[in-house]
Structure 1
């Protein structure tokens, strides 16, 4: 029987895959909520409820706040806020899979920066090809909202900062870092959301339950799992494996929102998955050679 405690790398990969599925599935729920509430309101509620859920679950009151590296936590929280808000603003204007494709430029840049072996560039190159194929060049390319694309690229830059800041020591556990980071991110966004018009209807029980579900699927669960995964994965592996995000997002949009995919985009899913598997295999082999 496989002992996960003795295989932290495999455990980290499983955590990351669950986080990606949870995150991208929640994107479909968020797009449904956009029909009733402002985008920034949905973003703020996601971070607020996510941070409160984690605060209770991980007993935030037990943290020694004197030992917290607030600079690192604040950087992480700002990255979360930017990634969250800009991504939601982008999917309000673009199909889910296309938005994530543009956003993925951020983690892909991190992966490319840390590439060292020749196969690293092969897998990153495949991920780029997959992202290229995911773009609908032969259909409605002109109809893509340029503001939505700009939002997605901004979310990608915040995603890159999220990966880097998530690996810096904060003086507390990863779960407590996520909790405090989400709360800081919420504090950054809530004045803007209130100014833009945050309806009180979000707290009505019939609506509130959907925001709780969104907070769990989009924040509390994936951010906690990603934080644990970042402790055992290199930036290269994390950045390349997240190339699965556009594929999962495209499938989620197809299943839950009826967003159709072209044949080239289905091909893109296969290419992106191949890059993720290849990156995992070659990195593990290189790691084993160093240890033996």
Structure 2
């Protein structure tokens, strides 16, 4: 009800969430030469868990054994997804990694509807991915980086499914504990890769900033928006993430894309927006989980 009088406020919150996430990830990539993708991922996930633990204090809520299993699966998948995505960023542009990763939630959305029009969105997604994957003579993307991004896409799909299993829990409860589980995966890998470099005060400060900008702020804005914005509108705006990531990576990292790559991103965004619209019309609204 309260989303109708001022729909632009929650819409701006979603846009702010996507923008904050992309800015944080762009700056995180600048740490790769110092602590590697693994170390940077450990800083982001580890400090995000600490920030959200202190903010939400999840120990205030009871957690049954069954729900604990849901949260652990959700968190472990989140951790692997973050690690694989950062590994992909070592060799392929940020915007293209996001576009490829979007194939995960797109697959989940496609499976939620059986209407004929969904084949249009499926064809659009396949066309976009085919233009990005290193399949032909015009391929310019590193195959290893693409495989990491595809792995992150699979994890994002599982993250959505596992997240829905824990959807009855308070968002702050499941997200904060989920990030703790994610830390169990990511932090040891980061320590093994970066070692004592992670203890440098400048690196630690940068890690806290990245965690806040790329995790704490986006998650808080998304939770605010989901309470006031129809799920369909939320999903459409989140679908802009590949384009926003590409624009910010161009401005902050100097990653210039070709017209061919921009067209591929356009196909994937079109597929995501279209599938969001038709999926929501075909079934009752359900909470959306962002990756």
The TM-score bracket by the shorter chain reads: 0.7 to 0.9
Report the 3-state secondary structure (helix = DSSP H, G, I; strand = E; otherwise coil) of the residue aligned with 1:79.
helix
Unaligned segments of structure 2, at least 5 residues: 285-291
Structure 1 residue 151: deviation in Å? 1.1
Unaligned segments of structure 1, at least 5 residues: none
Are 1:15 and 1:229, in contact at CA under 8 Å, matched by a contact in 2? yes
Report the 3-state secondary structure (helix = DSSP H, G, I; strand = E; otherwise coil) of the residue aligned with 1:198.
helix
2: CA distance, partners of 1:109 / 1:280: 11
Q: Which has the higher mean CA deviation after the structures are superposed, 192-201 or 176-185?
A: 192-201
Are 1:135 and 1:265, in contact at CA under 8 Å, matched by a contact in 2? no
Closer/same/farther in 2, CA of residues 58 and 111 from structure 1, 3 Å limit: same
Closer/same/farther in 2, CA of residues 272 and 7 from structure 1, 3 Å limit: farther
Closer/same/farther in 2, CA of residues 114 and 172 from structure 1, 3 Å limit: closer
Partner in structure 2 of residue 126 of structure 1: 124
Partner in structure 2 of residue 215 of structure 1: 211
1: CA distance, partners of 2:21 / 2:28: 10
Closer/same/farther in 2, CA of residues 274 and 101 from structure 1, 3 Å limit: closer
Q: Which has the higher mean CA deviation after the structures are superposed, 143-152 or 129-138?
A: 129-138
Relative to the length of structure 2, the TM-score reads 0.80
Q: How many residues align?
A: 281
CA displacement 1:199-242 (0-9 Å, x = unmatched):
245450x33332122102222233455567789748xx85x765
Indicate which of 57, 63, 76 corresponds to 2:74.
76
Are 2:26 and 1:4 equivalent residues in the alignment? no
Relative to the length of structure 1, the TM-score reads 0.80
Are 2:189 and 1:192 equivalent residues in the alignment? yes
Are 1:38 and 1:198, in contact at CA under 8 Å, matched by a contact in 2? no
Summarize the alignment of residues 98-177 of structure 1 with structure 2, pairs less than 5 Å apart. Answer: 98-133=96-131, 141=139, 143-169=140-166, 172-177=169-174
2: CA distance, partners of 1:267 / 1:144: 15
2: CA distance, partners of 1:271 / 1:16: 21
Summarize the alignment of residues 22-101 of structure 1 with structure 2, pairs less than 5 Å apart. Answer: 22-66=20-64, 69-101=67-99
